[in-house]
Structures are given as structure tokens and as C-alpha cells.
Chains A and B, each alone.
Chain A
Amino acid sequence: AQKITQTQPGMFVQEKEAVTLDCTYDTSDPSYGLFWYKQPSSGEMIFLIYQGSYDQQNATEGRYSLNFQKARKSANLVISASQLGDSAMYFCAMREMDAGGTSYGKLTFGQGTILTVHP
């Protein structure tokens, strides 16, 4: 069974500094995808970044980068130059293929990390 673990319930960072949010996963599926979502206090789920299990390079999207270490089964999110608006809950998630390999199966989320950016 797949599992996502986020061990940091809360993180604090000074504005303009970088911060790393940890995520480890466990799956027996050779084809999987890893995601990070942001959930501000308003409640909506905002997609940040995606990494496929066969991607050779780490994904980057603007100030977000995903530090993918396949052998260690980790997919940490790095936010560079933090902004006050980055204060939110952050979720790591993983999807696997369904048994037939033609659709996506489970999409499982971690417990989340609350990030607070201080001015």
C-alpha cells in the first residue's frame, strides 16, 4: 500500500529565505507521480509542482523546486525567497496507476506541514 509521510507539523521561515518541506513515500508501483499542493487559509487546493517517477531531472516551477531522491524515496519541496503569501498548509501527494495501467489509481496525501513566513 502506498504511504506518504510528512514529519514536520509546522515550519517557520524568515521572509526572503529558503525553506525545505520534507516528504517521504512508500510504494511498490514502479510508475508513480509525486505532487505538492498548497492550501491557504481560504481552503482551496493549489497545485504547485509535479515529479514523475521516471523523470531524470528534478522538477522546478518558479520559486518551487522538488528535490527528488528516488533511492531514498523522498520528494522534498524547496521554496526559495519565501514571501508572506507563502504562509499556508502544504501537502505532498502521490498517485499510482490502477491495476489495468490505463488510468490513475489512488491519489494519497500526507498529513501536511503548516508553513509560517515571518517578516
Chain B
Amino acid sequence: NAGVTQTPKFQVLKTGQSMTLQCAQDMNHNSMYWYRQDPGMGLRLIYYSASEGTTDKGEVPNGYNVSRLNKREFSLRLESAAPSQTSVYFCASFKIGHTEAFFGQGTRLTVV
């Protein structure tokens, strides 16, 4: 039981490049989330998917797109990376009736 798996763990991009952050959970969770965490800051919600087939904007969606590929996978895409998107990205998942959201280990992204 791997929990929530994020790939990659580290990435350096040049300004204007694109990339997709992958997230997969094997716990049959309905809801999945993408956050960014800047140094010394809290987690800010980028996008979330309350259930398979739905996605909604969070607090800071600009510059990002998401895809809920199936119940297991929720990807985050940066179409044209900017230095302001340098951050640590966390994926999380949740199942209704449960009392804990599970987090991936994070992806440290640097845009130069």
C-alpha cells in the first residue's frame, strides 16, 4: 500500500517550459487536491477534484491546469513555467467518512 505517490520529487525548469506533475493514490479515495507551499508559508490550494470527473479551482489556480484521469490519478500541468511558480507542490487525497487526508512527499520545483 503505497498511499499517495508524487512524481517527480525534484525538477528544475527554464522559464517558458511546460511540465506535468503526477499524483496517484491507491486508497480508493474520492477527493484529491493540489497545493503549493512557498518558504515559511502555509499550503495554498491550487485545484481540487471532489470526485472522479470533477475539478474545481482553489485559491491560486492561475498558470495551472489539472486532469482527473481516473479515480487514482490527478495531474497538475504548468503550460508555461514562470519563476513565481518556484515552490514545493503537494498532492493529497481524502475519502468520505475518513478523518485524515493523506499527503504525498512533495515535489520541489525550481523555475529559472
Contact = CB atoms under 8 A, between A and B. Distances in A.
Interface of A: 6, 33, 35, 43-45, 47, 50, 52, 91, 93, 95, 98, 100, 102-112
A19 B82 CA distance: 40
A52 B99 contact: yes
B51 interface: yes
A107 B45 contact: yes
Given A45-B90, A107-B92, A102 B42 contact: no
Given A43-B106, A44-B103, A98-B50, A103 B96 contact: yes
B100 A50 contact: yes
Contacts of A107: 31, 33, 45, 48, 92, 94, 101
B99 A50 contact: yes
A111 B41 contact: yes
A98 to B, nearest CB: 4
Q: Sorted from nearest, which 7 A-B pairs have the closest CB atoms?
A: A98-B50, A50-B99, A45-B103, A109-B43, A111-B42, A103-B50, A103-B51
A35 B101 contact: yes
Contacts of A91: 42-43
B66 to A, nearest CB: 14
B58 interface: yes
Main secondary structure of the interface of A (DSSP, over half): strand
Among the interface residues B41, B50, B56, B102, which one has the most CB atoms of the partner chain A within 10 A? Answer: B50
Contacts of B41: 111-112
B43 A104 contact: no
Nearest to A49: B99
B13 to A, nearest CB: 20
A79 B31 CA distance: 30
A33 B51 contact: no
A104 B30 CA distance: 8
A110 B100 CA distance: 16
B74 interface: no
B11 to A, nearest CB: 15
B36 to A, nearest CB: 11
Contacts of B92: 45, 107
Contact of B100 (A47, A100, A108, A109): A47
